[in-house]
Amino acid sequence: MFRLKVNKWRFGTNLAGVRYATTTTTHGNHYQYLQNSKLPTLYFQRSLPRLPIPLLEKTCERFLAAVQPLLSAEEQRDTQQVVDQFRQGVGMELHARLKQSDEANKHTSYISQPWFDMYLSDRAPLPLNYNPLIVMRDDTRPAYQPQVTRATNLIISSLRFWRSLQANILEPEVYHMNPKKTNTDNYRRWMAISPKAFATYASYAFKAFPLDMSQYSRLFGTTRLPKLGKDELVQSADSKHILVMRRGNMYAMNVLDSSGYIESPSVILGRLKSILALDAQKQSASVPLGVLTTQQRDQWARARTHFVSNPKNADLLEREVDAALFCVCLDSEEDGMYNEADQVPLIKHQLAGKATNRWFDKSISLLISADGVAAVNFEHSWGDGVAVLRYFNEMYWDTQKQPFVSATSPHTPAEGDASNVRPLNFEIDDRTRADVEAAYAHNAEIVDSLDMNYLQYPHLTKGTCKHHGLSPDSIIQLAFQLAYRQAFKRYVGTYESCSTSAFRHGRTETMRPCTIATKAFCEAVLQPSQKQPSAVELRAMIDKCSIVHGQLTKEAAMGQGFDRHLFSLRHTAMLEGLPMPALFETEAYKRINYNIISTSTLGTDTVVAGAFGPVVKDGLGVGYSIQNEFAGAIVTSYKNQAQGKEFVDSLASAFEQILAIIEQSSKSAKAETRN
């Protein structure tokens, strides 16, 4: 499932200390490469530690602790018995087999292949179920915000990032505990003389933690192909073009020259303008093929098989669409524009919308509205938030620091240049037309059933939390628990993702924010006022919640959670045709994995919004952030399935209650000190 949360790993710091070559020609390093790192991009990859498989006993303990808030005392006792039997019996056998498999595949992690299999085998449609949305901060300079201008700069920055990655001169991804001390030339000099086999451990001595970069190679030129039963990822190593979509019409546009250099800014700008001019002369696509990528995956596989039975369609689809470096969707005014008073319509459109101007199978799609609002919608099977956020941040800051075109920049005319700007004219028969119509109707029905609610709470900020010595993430997760409990009178399975990219081929681990500590706090707050503990006592409970949250975060980041271990044990049983252990049939296991509240946060100033669909029909998809100005959340739900509006209203109340406790306890502490 999509979870962009990358606990504590911050991005954007790698720009410091990077030096560019002085040449300013379009074939010079300054233009062709985003960075010229002193350390090769994959310098630390060989020495990254392997993702540990937790002890079976610890996994069982953590599972029992996590399900306790969701179960009655009797259910907990029954679950304890099943877990004890699992730990002493079949669990030991499965654990041994998993360890044996892991030992035989030292080049990767125990979770990597099962996680790929999980994504690629799921038959659910990509939009809302998997593909997430990240909305970029606007360019506040009017000369750089217009659609075609911003698209050109974002394309160039994307290509500069990609070419740096290809040339192995993109800065390695490193989490610096103290960037001012370690994100320096001195640190890089010490790392450069460290043997590659031990470089990661040498970096640890500086309190700088290298992260896995194995997913980065699939950022560009990658497409998820629909196949019956299980999809396939394909990648083109020598692409020189991107896919551009406008009103459902599709164009292949070359962005690299015959030698593989990025075309000049005026050429890229001219080709984009020529596409807009071409498109203005025709109607919106009467059969928008991109809608097919919203289908259930087996349905799309069958539709695609028929479509490519026509050799011309097969050639165009494979050569121009599948092989494109990435997709650029230039939306028109009718698709919606930014409205500060109500951001929901545009975000909903970018997340899923009509899908007539999308190709959801591409690894990366840049979405740019008619007024220049930019976003990334990405296919999730190939990787997680570490790679996407790094690319997203570098692309944004590059366009801020050195945009290559403005609204007044001259362009190189490309009208009539059919070799570099190629309209994709597919041959569409009645079967494909019917497939598109059916896909459009089904997607429209799903999107119409999607409810989206947005909250900005200005009084609880990152600064507020830090001033009072509290973890911002633990506070906002506590607010989610309080909001759900007071609105719906129960506790439910809650999902928060944590990156395990500190390990080779790490993916994610699940954090379970609904704990005995959060439950105790919620129950105390919701007592009648005369029975409610004092503000100081409630603040102590908040501190306890924060400590527990921090410990769970640390365990997850170090590969010591329980979800991925149990997932892999279950996967091992299925893979080897063994009977499914009773543990995986318990109400406890089903309940905690039925994620009613699924959360994801984006810890970066370049992002103004993030959204994804609920992971279960009666659930809530909560994209949240706590910034210097506000705490905010975009909550998705399905109408008549879950009450997203009630949750958001309750969340505002939860923020108010938690803030009041923090402030009142602080006043009480100060008064006691004075006395």
Look up residue 291 and give its two tokens: 């809608």
Per-residue pLDDT tens for 262-296? Answer: 999 999 999 999 999 999 999 999 999 999 999 99
Considering the segment(s) 122-170+215-448 as one domain, its CATH architecture is 2-Layer Sandwich (3.30)
- Interatomic CA distance for residues 85 and 82, integer angstroms: 5
C-alpha 412, offset from chain centre: 36
Give the β-pairing of 595-601 and 493-499: parallel
Per-residue pLDDT tens for 468-480? Answer: 999 999 999 999 9
Residue 603 reports pLDDT greater than 90: no
Average per-residue pLDDT for the chain: 93
What's the confidence (pLDDT) of residue 309? 98
- b/e 6-18 (16+ beta carbons within 10 angstroms → b): bbebebbbbbebb
Higher confidence at residue 432 or residue 529? 432
- Interatomic CA distance for residues 505 and 492, integer angstroms: 31
What's the confidence (pLDDT) of residue 23? 36
CATH classification of 57-108+450-674 is 3.30.559.10, yes or no? yes
What's the confidence (pLDDT) of residue 598? 97
Of 22-31, 160-169, 232-241, 384-393, least confident by mean pLDDT is: 22-31
What's the confidence (pLDDT) of residue 20? 32
Listed by start position, the domains of the chain span 57-108+450-674, 122-170+215-448
What's the confidence (pLDDT) of residue 666? 87
What's the confidence (pLDDT) of residue 7? 33
Helix (H, G, I), strand (E, B) or coil at 300: helix
What's the confidence (pLDDT) of residue 35? 96
What's the confidence (pLDDT) of residue 9? 32
SS3 content of the chain, % helix, strand, coil (to 5): 45, 15, 40
Confidence of residue 28 (pLDDT cuts 50, 70, 90): confident
Per-residue pLDDT tens for 36-64? Answer: 999 999 999 999 999 999 999 999 999 99
DSSP string over 40-103:
-TTTTGGGPPBPPPPPHHHHHHHHHHHHGGGS-HHHHHHHHHHHHHHHHTHHHHHHHHHHHHHH
Residue 604 reports pLDDT greater than 90: no
Task: Give pTM, 2 decimals.
Answer: 0.93
Percentage of the chain lying above the pLDDT 90 cut = 89
Per-residue pLDDT tens for 303-361? Answer: 999 999 999 999 999 999 999 999 999 999 988 888 877 889 999 999 999 999 999 99
What's the confidence (pLDDT) of residue 606? 93
The H or E element that residue 233 is part of is strand 232-235
- Interatomic CA distance for residues 243 and 155, integer angstroms: 11
Residue whose tokens read 């999308």: 358
Please compute the mean of the pLDDT values over residues 3-10 and round it to a whole number.
34
What's the confidence (pLDDT) of residue 579? 95
The catalytic residues are 380
What's the confidence (pLDDT) of residue 29? 87
* Nearest partner of 511 among 471, 483, 539, judged by Cα: 471
Q: What is the 3 state secondary structure string of 92-116?
A: HHHHHHHHHHHHCCCCCCCCHHHHH
Per-residue pLDDT tens for 160-184? Answer: 999 999 999 999 999 999 999 999 9
Give the β-pairing of 222-225 and 232-235: antiparallel
Residue 223 reports pLDDT greater than 90: yes
Question: If 0-12 CB within 10 Å is exposed, 13-18 middle and 19+ buried, where does residue 488 land?
Answer: middle
Per-residue pLDDT tens for 94-148? Answer: 999 999 999 999 999 999 999 999 999 999 999 999 999 999 999 999 999 999 9
Confidence of residue 675 (pLDDT cuts 50, 70, 90): low
Please compute the mean of the pLDDT values over residues 209-235 and round it to a whole number.
97
Asked if residues 382 and 363 have their Cβ atoms less than 8 Å apart, the reply is yes
Percentage of the chain lying above the pLDDT 70 cut = 96
C-alpha 9, offset from chain centre: 13
